[in-house]
Structure 1
Amino acid sequence: TANLKPSDTALKKLQILNIPAGAQLFDEFSQIPAALFHGVSLRACYARRHAYQLDLNSYASSPGLFGHIPVLLLFGDHLQLPPVPQSTSFFASLDGTSSEHKAGSAMFGNIEDIFCFEKARRFRDQNLIAILTAMRQPEGQALTDQQWHALQATEVDGGTNFNASQFLRETHGWFHVAYTWSLVTMAAFLRAQSEAQHDQKRLMYIPACDAPKKGDIVLRSLPLCVYVKLDGCQHRFLPHKSCAEHASVEPDCALCGGLAG
Structure 2
Amino acid sequence: MDQTIKDKVIVITGASSGIGEATAKLLIENGAKVVLGARREEKLQQLVKEFGENSTYAVTDVRKAEDVNALVELAIEKFGKVDVLFANAGIMPASNISELKTNEWDDMVDINVKGVLNSLAAVVPYFTEQKSGHVIATSSIAGLKVFPGNSVYTGTKFAVRAIMDGFRMESAMEKTNIRTTTLYPGAIATELLDTISTPETKKGMEDFYQIAITPEAVAKTVLFAIAQPAEVGITELTILPSAQA
For the aligned pair, the TM-score class normalised by the smaller chain equals under 0.3
Greater percentage in helix: 2
TM-score scaled to structure 2, two decimals?
A: 0.22
Work out which structure has the larger RCO, using CA pairs closer than 8 Å and 6 or more positions apart in sequence: 2
